[in-house]
Protein backbone atom coordinates (compact mmCIF):
# COMPACT_ATOMS: atom_id res chain seq x y z
CA UNK A 1 0.00 0.00 0.00
CA UNK A 2 2.82 2.41 0.82
CA UNK A 3 4.12 1.89 -2.71
CA UNK A 4 0.93 3.38 -4.14
CA UNK A 5 1.13 6.29 -1.73
CA UNK A 6 4.55 7.18 -3.15
CA UNK A 7 3.26 7.09 -6.74
CA UNK A 8 2.62 10.87 -7.04
CA UNK A 9 6.15 11.56 -5.79
CA UNK A 10 7.58 9.07 -8.28
CA UNK A 11 5.57 10.64 -11.10
CA UNK A 12 6.80 14.10 -10.18
CA UNK A 13 10.42 12.96 -9.94
CA UNK A 14 10.09 11.10 -13.24
CA UNK A 15 8.66 14.18 -14.93
CA UNK A 16 11.49 16.37 -13.59
CA UNK A 17 14.09 13.80 -14.63
CA UNK A 18 12.49 13.57 -18.08
CA UNK A 19 12.63 17.34 -18.55
CA UNK A 20 16.25 17.50 -17.41
CA UNK A 21 17.25 14.58 -19.63
CA UNK A 22 15.40 15.96 -22.65
CA UNK A 23 16.95 19.40 -22.27
CA UNK A 24 20.41 17.90 -21.72
CA UNK A 25 20.10 15.87 -24.93
CA UNK A 26 18.95 18.99 -26.82
CA UNK A 27 21.90 20.92 -25.43
CA UNK A 28 24.32 18.10 -26.38
CA UNK A 29 22.96 17.85 -29.93
CA UNK A 30 23.10 21.64 -30.21
CA UNK A 31 26.76 21.69 -29.14
CA UNK A 32 27.75 18.81 -31.43
CA UNK A 33 26.06 20.36 -34.47
CA UNK A 34 27.20 23.93 -33.67
CA UNK A 35 23.64 25.19 -33.21
CA UNK A 36 22.22 24.05 -36.56
CA UNK A 37 20.17 21.05 -35.41
CA UNK A 38 17.84 22.73 -32.96
CA UNK A 39 17.09 25.94 -34.90
CA UNK A 40 14.06 24.43 -36.59
CA UNK A 41 12.74 23.05 -33.26
CA UNK A 42 13.16 26.41 -31.55
CA UNK A 43 11.01 27.99 -34.27
CA UNK A 44 7.96 26.08 -33.08
CA UNK A 45 7.43 25.91 -29.34
CA UNK A 46 4.41 23.70 -30.00
CA UNK A 47 6.72 20.83 -30.94
CA UNK A 48 8.68 21.26 -27.71
CA UNK A 49 5.53 21.24 -25.57
CA UNK A 50 4.24 18.12 -27.30
CA UNK A 51 7.57 16.45 -26.60
CA UNK A 52 7.35 17.32 -22.91
CA UNK A 53 3.73 16.14 -22.67
CA UNK A 54 4.61 12.90 -24.45
CA UNK A 55 7.45 12.28 -22.03
CA UNK A 56 5.14 12.92 -19.09
CA UNK A 57 2.57 10.40 -20.39
CA UNK A 58 5.33 7.85 -21.03
CA UNK A 59 6.77 8.26 -17.53
CA UNK A 60 3.34 7.95 -15.90
CA UNK A 61 2.64 4.76 -17.84
CA UNK A 62 6.09 3.33 -17.16
CA UNK A 63 5.92 4.02 -13.42
CA UNK A 64 2.40 2.60 -13.23
CA UNK A 65 3.63 -0.57 -14.97
CA UNK A 66 6.53 -0.88 -12.51
CA UNK A 67 4.14 -0.43 -9.57
CA UNK A 68 1.76 -3.06 -10.93
CA UNK A 69 4.59 -5.55 -11.43
CA UNK A 70 5.85 -4.89 -7.90
CA UNK A 71 2.34 -5.22 -6.47
CA UNK A 72 1.60 -8.53 -8.18
CA UNK A 73 5.04 -9.95 -7.42
CA UNK A 74 4.38 -9.32 -3.70
CA UNK A 75 1.07 -11.15 -4.01
CA UNK A 76 2.77 -14.35 -5.19
Average pLDDT over every residue of 69-74: 78
Under DSSP, the state recorded for 33 is: T
Distance between CA atoms of residues 22 and 18, nearest Å: 6
Q: Does the model's pTM come out above 0.75?
A: no
3-state secondary structure of 74: helix
Task: Provide, rounded to the nearest whole percent, the portion of the chain with pLDDT above 70.
Answer: 63
If one compares 63 and 34, the residue with the highest pLDDT of the two is: 63
Segment 18-52, tens digit of pLDDT? 777 777 777 777 777 665 655 555 555 556 556 66
Amino acid sequence: MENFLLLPLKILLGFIAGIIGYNFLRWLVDKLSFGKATEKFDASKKHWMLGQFGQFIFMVGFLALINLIAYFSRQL
